[in-house]
Structure 1
């Protein structure tokens, strides 16, 4: 596995597009929370008194950061699509097989990026939540509610799994990117609305929507009823099953494809 990681590092260390997208993905996490915190600071005190607390007060700071970051996780998916499709554009995967790699090694190299990027998103979000909580919170530090970052981690994982599968099956960077963006930003949203209206709660069990159901904006439940139809456990299991399905399909494709 260490050799796989070393080879993957050699692929990206001088790849400018990778570093630009990676830096953007990391910066956008605290940047988006800065915007939200600035907007929240302008809310009249009477309104915050009704809601009960500031959105960046502990312990709700964990949930706020997770919710805000869930809207930016698509950038990590774009990065993964680029990495996967480059393997086919530059025939890197074929050269590695010629050099002695097993097909399983190719599978592990892509799963490595799924896990690595999701962990990076989690770590940056964790640090962001602590920093913003320390700056804006009037309550003492607390780990209560930190599970929302785990929910965010699951959402990033399923988003990356979709990106991995699309990149592997489509192979062309431009087309895979358009389909990934179209699904994440438009198609699943329309499908969710349609299913919820025609079938019911099952519409909330689509891959990305299940993550959204786990990450409602905090405090809002004081003025609006919850939109979640199932328990957290149902959504967590659903997301894990989707991750297993998408990675399983990707592995089957990589192991059976004619290179």
Structure 2
């Protein structure tokens, strides 16, 4: 494992685009702290996000992982560009000539995926911990440590997403086309979901039935790992109650969703290996 990681980090060391994208990504993660500075007054209405409780423990784990997951696109570009460079600069062929097996090559890429996801998770953990200690009204140990399952979900979400990017990077050999293929897949899932709503519109509990079907699709499963956190805010619930609305959705991280994403991760890595194994390089 260490040998494979050394090879991959050596490649990344001389890939300027990957270094720039990685710096942008982690810079944006750190910029989550700037949300606390959003403050303005409109007459008697005072708006300060930090005072709305978004950095309170344990809510901060949910909020920050949700926001950070939106930024994963930048590291996806690093993953797919790595694969594109393997074909463009013929380093893949050279690695195989030098004795690296195709299985080891796929494993080396998967290890990088895990490392990127792990570093991202640790980074979000540290940023959230600092912001929480500064702004949270609750700093008891039991409260701080509750909600850490969102970090686990964040890690698994990144691993699944980057594994999907790795597969498409191998499939189409070009970073732009790989990202485009993922966009097409996402659109196809959305169209399929819309079709199900149309097809089941006359059935009872249409939304629940549609969700029970589409939960097995990769993008939908990754999305379900960390549900939107905004409707959990006390201020939002207060406004909703005043207009007669109530929120009954579950915000927990479901083990079944974790399992679905892990299965898709295995599928994408296995298909990457099969594709590389059968391809004439």
Band of TM-score, shorter chain: 0.7 to 0.9
Mapping of 1:17-32 within 5 angstroms? 17-31=17-31
Q: Distance in 2 between matches of 1:41 and 1:246?
A: 46
Larger radius of gyration: 2
Go from structure 1 to structure 2 and tell me whether the alpha carbon gap of 1:47 and 1:122 turns closer, same or farther (over 3 Å shift): closer
1:211 is the counterpart of 2:222? yes
Q: Is the CA contact 1:69–1:125 (under 8 Å) kept in the aligned structure 2?
A: yes
Go from structure 1 to structure 2 and tell me whether the alpha carbon gap of 1:229 and 1:133 turns closer, same or farther (over 3 Å shift): closer
Q: Is the CA contact 1:77–1:160 (under 8 Å) kept in the aligned structure 2?
A: yes
Q: Distance in 2 between matches of 1:24 and 1:163?
A: 19
TM-score of the superposition, structure 2-length normalised? Answer: 0.80
Mapping of 1:212-227 within 5 angstroms? 212-218=223-229, 220-221=231-232, 222=237, 223=240, 225-226=247-248
Q: Is the CA contact 1:74–1:159 (under 8 Å) kept in the aligned structure 2?
A: no
Go from structure 1 to structure 2 and tell me whether the alpha carbon gap of 1:84 and 1:134 turns closer, same or farther (over 3 Å shift): same
Q: Is the CA contact 1:85–1:172 (under 8 Å) kept in the aligned structure 2?
A: yes
Go from structure 1 to structure 2 and tell me whether the alpha carbon gap of 1:78 and 1:189 turns closer, same or farther (over 3 Å shift): farther
Go from structure 1 to structure 2 and tell me whether the alpha carbon gap of 1:195 and 1:123 turns closer, same or farther (over 3 Å shift): farther
The worse-fitting range, judged by mean Cα deviation, of 63-72 and 97-106 is 97-106
Specify the alignment match of 1:87 in structure 2. 86
1:241 is the counterpart of 2:252? no
Go from structure 1 to structure 2 and tell me whether the alpha carbon gap of 1:182 and 1:25 turns closer, same or farther (over 3 Å shift): farther
Specify the alignment match of 1:2 in structure 2. 2
Q: Is the CA contact 1:192–1:203 (under 8 Å) kept in the aligned structure 2?
A: yes
Mapping of 1:1-259 within 5 angstroms? 1-31=1-31, 33-39=32-38, 54-141=53-140, 142-183=144-185, 186-196=187-197, 198=199, 200-201=210-211, 202-218=213-229, 220-221=231-232, 222=237, 223=240, 225-226=247-248, 232-259=254-281
Q: CA RMSD in A?
A: 2.8
The worse-fitting range, judged by mean Cα deviation, of 226-235 and 57-66 is 226-235
How far apart are 1:117 and its partner, in Å?
1.0
TM-score of the superposition, structure 1-length normalised? Answer: 0.86
Q: Distance in 2 between matches of 1:146 and 1:230?
A: 11
Please state whether the residue corresponding to 1:225 is helix, strand or coil: coil
Q: Paired residues, what number?
A: 254
Q: Is the CA contact 2:60–2:128 (under 8 Å) kept in the aligned structure 1?
A: yes
Q: Distance in 1 between matches of 2:268 and 2:250?
A: 24
Please state whether the residue corresponding to 2:145 is helix, strand or coil: coil
Q: Distance in 1 between matches of 2:152 and 2:252?
A: 18
Q: Is the CA contact 1:66–1:152 (under 8 Å) kept in the aligned structure 2?
A: yes
Please state whether the residue corresponding to 1:58 is helix, strand or coil: coil
Please state whether the residue corresponding to 1:217 is helix, strand or coil: coil
How far apart are 1:212 and its partner, in Å?
2.1
